[in-house]
Structure 1
Amino acid sequence: MEQIRELDEEELQIEEVETLSDDSSDDDAATNGHANGRNDSMGEFTFNTSLASLHTYLGEVEDTHHRMAFVDSGTILTLPLFFLEGVVLFPEATLPLRIIQTNFIMALERAMSQVDSPNSIGVVRVYRDFENRRLRFASVGTTAEIRQFRRLEDGSVNVVTRGKQRFHVRRHWIDVDGAPCGEIEIIEEDVPLRTPRDAFGTLPPLSNLGSQSFSHSTKSHNHAKRHRDRDENNDSEAESEESFLTELSLSEMRLHQSAVDSCCGYNMINESMNSDDEKYVSESESPSGKSQSSDGSSQAKLQGKVQSNLEVGRKAKIRESFEEGDPGKRRRILIQLNQFRAVPQAFWPYWVYQMFDSFALAQKAADMWKQIVGAPSMDGFVRKPDLLSFYIGSKSPVSESTRQELLEINGTSYRLRREIELLEGFDRVRCKNCQIFIPAQTVIAKRSDMLVMSTEGPLGAYVNPGGYVHEIMTFYKANGLALIGRPTKEYSWFPGYAWTIANCATCERHMGWLFTATNKRLKPRSFYGIRSSQVADDTR
């Protein structure tokens, strides 16, 4: 609120224009400060996006001056539970609440006074099962820390909370005073994975394959490995590791060589392997994929012969390139070949490791997020893949059920991979009700029309005067919506904008709101807020 007062006291350095409303205090605050929105063909973005994340419509709220410590994974707690329809709370996300119902007021008071995990509640999504016509509760929720608190004269309470840790709901009940409570278990979060530095250094380099030193280097490697494992009382594992190279079939050797191809970006092995080589390999293998030779010496001979054929193919390709190229090109080919053959083999291709490298996935997800949303640099999040996965999950403009799916995924790399898939497929927003009952769906909004009206991202949670929390995604324009009633500024989530209810023109379900500027200085002049709970799962 101090920021709002400062903004109100600042002198506007722009020309005064006629306003559409006599009350312009919110308009002045909304146009001051730096706007984090994007500039586009619609005109310069002048709305101060930091105001939406402050939830100024709640009025004065006091800081609780208490911060909840993280609880160890596996800890079982008893907390007051808030079952909220249309809401999926992620760790580090902000959730405003206006508590009117007596039972939830009792739950809040219990949370403020409890000794274990003070100022903490559990937030669980509740949804309607249309087939069975009943309410269902999600099995995974998020603890929320009460950051700001204000009790009003009518007995209601305004609260601003922040998500902390995921949990499983073990059981829930209504206490004697009517407060909903539950027994929860904190979920263990994994440590973000990174490709091990020695993932490609456990086997001899390709330059040793087929040479006289290959057998010696392999034996030395296996001997050292066996000796180390014996010291650790892992004799059985040592035997398995020792026999790995000596029992490689010809097809398995080719897989190792393909792994190096994936890592270095060269396809020299596959290109140099001619039809005679492939025929030889297929004849040398049994139906089970193993070599027909039973003794180690025969296997070594087969390996050596295959490598010899590969070397012939490589040399032929190099000679052809030399004849066609200039001296500079020849020099580059030699350098690339030497680098290629010096690369150590890997047990799996490089792209397999990248599938589970949380930091590589975080970089890809951050790049896609910046491209789609137009957000500023995400470098800070890239260094913390787990937080990035929660951030994208909480702000992705997808359906409520899809976001619950993201919340329930265990493992940072798995969650990031799913989010990347969703970002790649996100293109259109459709009405969920029409998807169920009407074959021909109307496209409500498109990805290209998405707009960021808050520093927290393109999707945020806001609470109305009746205490109902709405998570909305914002767009410049929308189709197939019918406006109900006249615009009003009262309790507006975006200072300086009036809101009008917008229903789906086909099924007449409440889809969201149209927000229109009450001051000509504000840009964009209008935008739509679409409820995520009314968005269909199909975003393509």
Structure 2
Amino acid sequence: MGKICSKPKRPIFCQPLYLGDDLEELRGRTVHEDDSYISLPILSLPGVVLLPGQTLPLHLFQPSTVSMMSHVIEGDKTFGIVTSSYHSADPYRPVLATVGTTAEVLAVKEENDSRVGVSTMRVKAVGRQRFEMKDTRRQMDGNMIAKVRILPESFLCDPLEGARPASHRRIVGSESWSCMDDTVGQATSHNAEYKGRRKIDRFSCANFTRMPPWVYRQYDAFLLMSRIRKELQSWNETLRPESMPCDPSEFSFWVAANLLLDDAFRLHLLTIDSAIQRLRCELSIMRRCTVLCCKNCNLLIAKKEDVFSMALEGPMGAYVNPGGYVHETLTIHKAMGLRLIGWPSVENSWFPGYAWTIAQCNQCDSHLGWRFTVAGRGRSLRPEKFWGLCRSSLVPGLQKDSENPDDETWRPIM
């Protein structure tokens, strides 16, 4: 497969309703204290690193897992998600990661098949808090219970507060400063009180310190958020800033959930307790990433400007197939180096109104994702075609020879 449909002006967002619209919504929310030690039932999902704020769909079949989830729902509705991997030394024993994320159940639907006497459960959960694994034990039913420490989130004060003049502090402290940028004039342009005044560099007070202003700009959370938003919009105009979180911590996890990062880097971000440091890592990756490549053979698959949002949450989302396997899928407009396997099918489609077809790498035959096309004639869905590619099958890359634009040799950056 080579070229696909041209990029539409604006997609028609559709919510994945494949889990059904009959799930029972649960009320209430559980928040654990920072640095507290608690016991959590653990669900291990290979290839899934849940991040705070990320939605996780589950389709549970095993009786022990269904029973565990029933006890979770009767309690505080919170369990732990930890990814696992297999090493070449012992390919039959999974190795659990040392960090994970608590997941809170938002909606659930339990079904009983009277013919075979098996109970299944559809669950919609969301990531809440980071934790560190301290100890694990297996129960008689095979489920895992872990003692974990809730990892705290560090919030740094303004490093220039002591050097900022009182007149400057009044402007910086105004509510209109919520969308910070390099100058006061830009940030307060919506406030009539300051309209027309001379622009003031809010980092100018750094001249009273030992370090120049550019150093403080590298560690300003709101300026980092502004730069990441501009970088995302340079990729594709469908990534709208108004749908992104405003809190630096929530924004850093939202970016991590929508970037093509491998499991190791996602786990590294979970260990960082500062939103500023997470934003700096993510901005560095975004500026270096130019293409998306096959993880197995490094074949060029797509360019970063082909990424777009098919859901309100962002360009990447977690979806579960009928077999219970969770795929974190990135939506893109067009791809290259892929071939289709089989015929389009609308059965269990993650996007209502679209039919899916399996897509493989044209070079190494690895499964990379699916192509989605509008099912039926006369439908008004946009775009008419797009690709959903698995995060676990791709790796971000950049061109080896930046001076030669005709050199299409790529190398991974992670």
Q: 1:184 aligns with which of 144, 148, 171?
A: 148
1:113 matched to 2:113? The reply is no
The verdict on how the C-alpha distance between 1:464 and 1:193 changes in structure 2, with shifts beyond 3 A counting, is: farther
Could you tell me which amino acid in structure 1 is paired with residue 277 of structure 2? Y
Structure 2 counterpart SS, 1:156: strand
Q: Map of 1:165-314 to 2, 5 A cutoff?
A: 165-199=129-163
Structure 1 counterpart SS, 2:162: helix
Q: Residues 360-399 of structure 1, C-alpha deviation per residue, up to 9 Å, x if partnerless?
A: 22222222223324322249734x1111111111111333
In the TM superposition, structure 1's runs of 4+ consecutive aligned residues that sit over 6 Å from their partners are none
Corresponding residue for residue 26 of structure 2? 65
Q: 2:100 aligns with which of 126, 130, 141?
A: 141
Could you tell me which amino acid in structure 2 is paired with residue 354 of structure 1? R
Corresponding residue for residue 85 of structure 1? 46
Tell me the percent identity. 32
Structure 1 counterpart SS, 2:18: helix
Maintained 8 Å contact 2:339/2:359: yes
Could you tell me which amino acid in structure 1 is paired with residue 72 of structure 2? A
Once residues 44 and 370 of structure 1 are traced to their aligned partners in structure 2, the CA distance between those partners, rounded to angstroms, is 14
Superposed CA RMSD: 2.7
Corresponding residue for residue 381 of structure 1? 245
Once residues 207 and 261 of structure 2 are traced to their aligned partners in structure 1, the CA distance between those partners, rounded to angstroms, is 43
Once residues 430 and 44 of structure 1 are traced to their aligned partners in structure 2, the CA distance between those partners, rounded to angstroms, is 25
Maintained 8 Å contact 1:67/1:145: no
Could you tell me which amino acid in structure 2 is paired with residue 65 of structure 1? L
Larger Rg: 1
Once residues 80 and 342 of structure 1 are traced to their aligned partners in structure 2, the CA distance between those partners, rounded to angstroms, is 50
Once residues 153 and 387 of structure 1 are traced to their aligned partners in structure 2, the CA distance between those partners, rounded to angstroms, is 38
1:463 matched to 2:327? The reply is no
Once residues 148 and 354 of structure 2 are traced to their aligned partners in structure 1, the CA distance between those partners, rounded to angstroms, is 41
Q: Residues 299-334 of structure 1, C-alpha deviation per residue, up to 9 Å, x if partnerless?
A: xxxxxxxxxxxxxxxxxxxxxxxxxxxxxxxxxxxx
Maintained 8 Å contact 2:260/2:396: no
Could you tell me which amino acid in structure 1 is paired with residue 348 of structure 2? Y
Q: TM-score, normalised on structure 2? A: 0.78
The alpha-carbon deviation at position 175 of structure 1 amounts to 0.9
Maintained 8 Å contact 2:41/2:68: yes
The verdict on how the C-alpha distance between 1:343 and 1:104 changes in structure 2, with shifts beyond 3 A counting, is: closer
Maintained 8 Å contact 1:444/1:479: yes
The alpha-carbon deviation at position 485 of structure 1 amounts to 1.4
Corresponding residue for residue 279 of structure 2? 416
The alpha-carbon deviation at position 164 of structure 1 amounts to 0.7
Structure 2 counterpart SS, 1:536: strand
Maintained 8 Å contact 2:300/2:336: yes
The alpha-carbon deviation at position 345 of structure 1 amounts to 2.3
The alpha-carbon deviation at position 201 of structure 1 amounts to 6.4
Maintained 8 Å contact 2:164/2:205: no
Structure 1 counterpart SS, 2:373: strand
The alpha-carbon deviation at position 103 of structure 1 amounts to 2.6
Q: Residues 48-101 of structure 1, C-alpha deviation per residue, up to 9 Å, x if partnerless?
A: x2413xxx1112343343222321101111111111112121111111100112
More strand per residue: 1 or 2?
2
The verdict on how the C-alpha distance between 1:483 and 1:351 changes in structure 2, with shifts beyond 3 A counting, is: same
Q: Map of 1:21-32 to 2, 5 A cutoff?
A: none
Corresponding residue for residue 211 of structure 1? none
The verdict on how the C-alpha distance between 1:128 and 1:433 changes in structure 2, with shifts beyond 3 A counting, is: farther
Maintained 8 Å contact 1:61/1:148: no
More helix per residue: 1 or 2?
1
Q: 1:483 aligns with which of 332, 340, 349?
A: 340
Corresponding residue for residue 262 of structure 2? 399
Once residues 95 and 372 of structure 2 are traced to their aligned partners in structure 1, the CA distance between those partners, rounded to angstroms, is 32
1:152 matched to 2:111? The reply is yes
Once residues 348 and 342 of structure 1 are traced to their aligned partners in structure 2, the CA distance between those partners, rounded to angstroms, is 10
Structure 1 counterpart SS, 2:310: coil
The verdict on how the C-alpha distance between 1:75 and 1:102 changes in structure 2, with shifts beyond 3 A counting, is: same
1:124 matched to 2:82? The reply is yes
1:531 matched to 2:390? The reply is yes
